[in-house]
Amino acid sequence: MDLATLRQLRLRVQGVREPVAASAPEVVERFVAVQSQEFVPAQWGLAARVRSEHRPDAASVAASIDRGEILRTHVLRPTWHFVSPSDARWLLELSAERVHRLNATYYRRVGLEGEAAARGLDVVARALEGGHRTRAQLTAALDEAGSPMAGLAFGYLLMLAELERVAISGANVGRQRTYAAFDERVPASAPKPRDEALAELAERFIGSRGPANERDFAAWSGFTLGDARQAFADAADRSDGRITTVEVDGETHWLDASAVPDAAAAASATESDTDRVDLLQAYDEYIMGYAAPRAYLQSPERPAPVGAEFPLHALMIGGVMCGRWAPVVNAKRAVVRIVPWRTFSPAEERSLAASVAELERFLGLPVTVERSS
């Protein structure tokens, strides 16, 4: 399999092409965890993977988050992810210890250890017994309890509360995000043995992002390469033959045969897909679901490995990165700033206009395009 076919398979498995999901919560459930540092752009990434007849706007996705159908927390790695309520508990039980180890230096640096950490967690837990609380309200509760925390220490206390299953995302209050008691938003469930949890995580990763290899899974999940190899083997064993392997440029990749079209169909789709423009957020799973250097993204116009350029996002043509874009949104209108890496063909310009129109429908605001060189 060559890189062009790999791109087409990944675009379709991920739902960037021919989406099958009927809602944003369904997208999150299928992906297990969706990276979501940038709150609104991450929601756009969910909506774009919903079938056009059901595609939600920003208000609808936000309502799903407010209702707790989609939760946002720090899991797998020390970064934000969207997760489903049914997956939040076992994912945190599986990954919290490893994230704690990664955070250990910062815990020590801000004095968030031992009794100080326990006091902070207790204050947060008691505050959340009374309902969803904003960061300002939790800061006030800590002050009143004689355990003031601010800045980096406060941020790491909240992450600690998430990892310890004390707190998780709550309903927004206007533009302010809140925290809720973990057990209020996440249903009780029996613990999963570590090997079973890793195998399930790997199986669902392959099913939503394959073809992928063990390095991709390790980079995405935060687990070791040894864990990834064992998890892939276990996932294949429990898949009844669905999970198989394919060679891409001499390297073994794993895919779920039930989730992908055959290679011939993907190869034929490549020819009709070369002009398709996608406005992906910088941390989209089509980018961050795989290990660097991500050769499948590389454009001849920019041979250097693709990296994050916050606040710019990824402008894709035919699954290859051909520029950057950034939305600037206010209450009445939005501006999409395009930074192309080359001149676009007429067909690409039409596809770009269609993608901007989809973004406009999502935002529910008129969108103006500004182009930079």
pLDDT of residue 228: 98
The series of mean pLDDT values per 10 residues for the chain, 373 residues long, is: 92 94 98 96 97 96 98 97 98 97 96 95 97 97 95 97 98 94 97 97 97 98 98 96 94 91 56 86 95 90 69 92 93 93 95 97 96 83
**CA distance linking residue 306 with residue 299, whole number of Å:** 9
Judge contact between 1 and 263, C-beta under 8 A. yes
C-alpha torsion sign, points 320, 326, 331, 333: negative
Q: What Rg, from alpha-carbon coordinates, does the chain have? A: 21
272 CA to centre of own chain: 28
Q: If DSSP codes are grouped into helix, strand and coil, which group holds residue 291?
A: coil
Backbone angles phi, psi at 180, to 5 degrees: -125, 160
Residue 301's pLDDT is 75
Q: Which pLDDT does position 175 carry in this prediction?
A: 87
Q: What is the largest CA-CA distance in the chain?
A: 66
Query: Beta strand 313-317 with 320-329: parallel, antiparallel or unpaired?
Result: antiparallel
User: What's the CA gap between 208 and 229, in Å, rounded?
Assistant: 18
Q: Pairing mode, if any, of strands 334-340 and 367-371?
A: parallel
- Which secondary structure element, helix H or strand E, spans residue 367, and what is its range? strand 367-371
Residue 305 has a pLDDT of: 67
Distance separating alpha carbons of residues 97 and 185, to the nearest angstrom: 22
pTM score above 0.85? yes
| CA pair distance 101, 106, nearest whole angstrom | 10
DSSP letter for each residue of 311-365: TBEEEEETTEEEEEEEEEE-SS-EEEEEEESSPPPHHHHHHHHHHHHHHHHHHTS
Angle in degrees, 0-180, between the axes of helices 214-221 and 225-237, rounded to the nearest 10: 110
Residue range 38-87, pLDDT digits in tens:
999 999 999 999 999 999 999 999 999 999 999 999 999 999 999 999 99
pLDDT reported for residue 262: 59
Taking only the tens place, the pLDDT of each residue in 99-139 is 999 999 999 999 999 999 999 999 999 999 999 999 999 99
> How many Å from the N-terminal Cα to the C-terminal Cα in the chain?
35
262, 14 contact by CB (below 8 A): no
- The two tokens of residue 295 are 């050769």
Structure token pair of residue 108: 């020590």
pLDDT at 259: 82
What is the Cα–Cα distance from 272 to 220, expressed in whole angstroms? 30
3-state secondary structure of 173: strand
